[in-house]
Amino acid sequence: MSEVLHIAFAGNPNAGKTTLFNHLTGAHQHVGNYPGVTVEKKEGVCTHSETATDIRVVDLPGTYSLTAYSVEELVARDYLVNERPDVVVNIVDASNLERNLYLTCQFIELGVPLVIALNMIDVAEKRGIRIDTDKLSELMGVPVLPIVARNGKGVPELLNTLISVSHAPARPQTLLRYGTDIDEALREIVPLIEEHKLLTDLYPARWTGLKILENDQQIVDRVMLANASVGQKLIDCGETLSQHLQDTIEAYPETVIADHRYGFVRSILRLGEVTRLSDQDRLYASDKIDKVVTDRFAGPLLMALVLFGLYSFTFNWSGFLVDWLGTLFELLGGTVDTLLPDGPLKSMIISGVIDGVGGVLGFVPIIMFMFFGIAVLEDSGYLARVAFMLDRIFHFFGLHGSSVMPFIISGGIAGGCAVPGVLAARTLRSPKERMATLLTVPFMNCGAKLPVLTLIIGAFFSTHQAKYMFLATLVTWLVALLVAKFLRMTVLKGESTPFVMELPPYRVPTLKGLSIHTWERTWQYIKKAGTVILGISILLWAMMTYPGLPADKASEFEAMRRGVASSTGDQAAELVRIDRLAAEEGLRSSFAGRIGTALEPISRYAGFDWRTNIALVGGFAAKEVIISTLGTAYSLGQGAAEDTTSLKDRLRADRRWNPVAALAFLFFIMFYSPCFVTVVAIAKEAGSWKWAFFSMGFNTLFAYLMAVAVFQAGTLLGMG
């Protein structure tokens, strides 16, 4: 007895489904209606003689999409999920690839076993369209067979493929991405759908989530029927997203999702050089812009200019605000100094709270300007092009085009955060490429490192701040890529996978949208300063203050002070000098001071003294703390008398700091262990703590070696 294979033909109207159906089944057809609706249902049978397989074919109604707006679309998608054909043959009109593949994306999202029959090859050829079917197949992750349904050319090969696909194990699904906002919403609701097994016997959870965000009435109803309370949560989430998108880019989720599907298709057609038109391209406005913007030569040049422009904008325009805020905090410190009596409370407020949190908050203007610039790039659609252009380079280094976004989100342009960056690496399908991405995104200059870089660059390389920041970014990328290459050649050896990414159309950003995006991110930064950073700051202050001077040392300083009183000469200056020595000695014998001192034998090769070590240890918790801790360490050690100079000036004045030591310090900061929250995120994403610990150890060792190299070379060359 022969086995029966059940296949369905699906595709746009006029793609040639019925022609192929008739060609295959001839007279063996049955025409009826789908239950309850007036949509015609055509079924037929044919035989694949080589394998003696009977094939039952259903010709589904033609559609352009799989929404719930038309009966045809509902019939088609219900058939696919309820009847579960063994293979779905997507008939695609080769002469109209872009529009046809839009529907293909939705079959991919739906997770059905798919084969693309590229029909009307004859028409395409006549119009001068050449299609690289192998490339198309590789990029879409689906077999592609060229056919001419009208004369049956290519149909036997199509049948062979159907038979083999029906026996092959399911391929991993290509994931489409829909931009930061929608991807984030999906990340929130998909786990809920999985946890409560909402419709999971019918649809992939991600598809259901997407449909809820698209506000698909049928799915919303079904979800509500299955579990009203969770359903309501999901719908609320969808509404929040919808409101957010309307506020920021004045678009509905449906539109944004559709844009990204088209973007996905367009990038496949362009990037893979899948199609070549011999004459008169029909170009959309976005495509016209892309011709220039992603040009092989003009593109990268423009990208460098744009990024440099971003730095100039940020640093040249935010300077006066930074100075202004700095003055404000100095004033605040001065006021507290005169108002409060000396003692631990005053010390905590000045050294712990004002110097600590103030040091972080002082950078809010820079962060804000940077975020504004990035929002312009992101909202306009340019950022996606940056990723697109960088793909080739990424491949060379053993990463993937989909790694670009995580890199940028983590601070590839400066001012991101590695935590969402690590989460964004989920779109990578190859585990090894994903791991290499997870391990290298923390190298990027996140919003927490930015103030440290700004401080050090401002203190020691102040003449060309924008240029140095730009350079720091280049170095970061170079190092991240080289380390990725190294990891991919050693612990993460393996194949690389082809690249696809979404190129949404360009939009003119609205001022409202830009303001909201800028403010959201800035507020997150401020909130962090007011909570986590405040807590760690106070803890570190306590560690730097207690247990204080040992009794014998304290009496030694007392004796010195008494000695001054009976001496001649400048008594006041001598007293200040003694106060300072006592303060430094006190810091050194504090808990933190002991840790810093214990590390000195190792750290001095990189030019870090025990005070810097305290700050760096604090940075394991959060990178912002580096500034606040340096602030505290240098204000505690300085004696309260001259507490009103800025940290920048204090560092510049300190004899242990010089440009070489500063450079070594910068290198260490940029590359050492990810902050604690990122480490936890890596552990979660990698599914084990092994890689999280690896990233702490590996990065710290690597950063140390870099810093030592810089410090030793610089000192040798006599630049210190």
Chain contacts with ligand GDP (rule: CB under 6 A): 11, 13-19, 62, 119-120, 122-123, 148-150
What is the closest distance, in whole angstroms, from the C-beta atom of residue 31 to Mg ion in the complex? 11
CA distance linking residue 565 with residue 512, whole number of Å: 66
| Residues near Mg ion (CB under 5 A) | 18
Nearer to ligand GDP, 11 or 412 (CB): 11
What is the closest distance, in whole angstroms, from the C-beta atom of residue 76 to ligand GDP in the complex? 12
Residue 561, contacted partner among Mg ion, ligand GDP, none, CB below 5-8 A by kind: none
Is the Cβ–Cβ distance between 671 and 443 less than 8 Å?
yes
Which helix (H) or strand (E) segment holds residue 32: the answer is: strand 29-33
DSSP label at 29? E
CA distance linking residue 144 with residue 272, whole number of Å: 14
What is the closest distance, in whole angstroms, from the C-beta atom of residue 122 to ligand GDP in the complex? 5
Residue 330, contacted partner among ligand GDP, Mg ion, none, CB below 5-8 A by kind: none
Residue 636, contacted partner among ligand GDP, Mg ion, none, CB below 5-8 A by kind: none
Q: Own/partner pairs for 189-193, CB < 8 Å, 24+ apart?
A: 189/213, 189/234, 189/237, 189/238, 192/230, 192/233, 192/234, 193/234
DSSP string, 646-666: -HHHHHHH-TT--HHHHHHHH
Nearer to ligand GDP, 11 or 674 (CB): 11
Nearer to ligand GDP, 42 or 521 (CB): 42
What is the closest distance, in whole angstroms, from the C-beta atom of residue 76 to Mg ion in the complex? 12
Residue 314, contacted partner among ligand GDP, Mg ion, none, CB below 5-8 A by kind: none
Other Cβ atoms closer than 10 A to 467: 15
Residue 120, contacted partner among ligand GDP, Mg ion, none, CB below 5-8 A by kind: ligand GDP
What is the closest distance, in whole angstroms, from the C-beta atom of residue 36 to ligand GDP in the complex? 22
What is the closest distance, in whole angstroms, from the C-beta atom of residue 147 to ligand GDP in the complex? 7
CA distance linking residue 304 with residue 467, whole number of Å: 12
Nearer to ligand GDP, 17 or 266 (CB): 17
Nearer to ligand GDP, 120 or 436 (CB): 120
Nearer to ligand GDP, 119 or 275 (CB): 119
Q: Does residue 384 sit in helix, strand or coil?
A: helix
What is the closest distance, in whole angstroms, from the C-beta atom of residue 216 to ligand GDP in the complex? 24
DSSP string, 50-97: GGTEEEEEEEPPP-S---SSSHHHHHHHHHHHHH--SEEEEEEEGGGH
Residue 150, contacted partner among Mg ion, ligand GDP, none, CB below 5-8 A by kind: ligand GDP
* Dihedral sign (CA 545, 546, 549, 551): positive
Is the Cβ–Cβ distance between 67 and 73 less than 8 Å?
yes
Nearer to ligand GDP, 56 or 467 (CB): 56
Q: Can you read off the two tokens belonging to residue 545?
A: 């203050």
Nearer to Mg ion, 18 or 160 (CB): 18
Q: Can you read off the two tokens belonging to residue 591?
A: 């808990």
What is the closest distance, in whole angstroms, from the C-beta atom of residue 94 to ligand GDP in the complex? 8
Q: Own/partner pairs for 466-470, CB < 8 Å, 24+ apart?
A: 466/308, 466/311, 466/312, 466/314, 466/315, 466/316, 467/311, 469/311, 469/314, 469/315, 469/414, 470/307, 470/308, 470/311
Helices 659-671, 465-489: axis angle to 10 degrees equals 50
What is the closest distance, in whole angstroms, from the C-beta atom of residue 174 to ligand GDP in the complex? 24
Query: Is residue 673 packed enough to be buried (19+ CB in 10 Å), middle (13-18) or exposed (0-12)?
Result: buried
Residue 510, contacted partner among ligand GDP, Mg ion, none, CB below 5-8 A by kind: none
Nearer to ligand GDP, 98 or 337 (CB): 98
Residue 337, contacted partner among Mg ion, ligand GDP, none, CB below 5-8 A by kind: none
Greatest pairwise CA separation for the chain in angstroms: 121
Q: Can you read off the two tokens belonging to residue 28?
A: 């063996």
What is the closest distance, in whole angstroms, from the C-beta atom of residue 18 to Mg ion in the complex? 3
Is the Cβ–Cβ distance between 257 and 241 less than 8 Å?
no
Nearer to ligand GDP, 127 or 562 (CB): 127
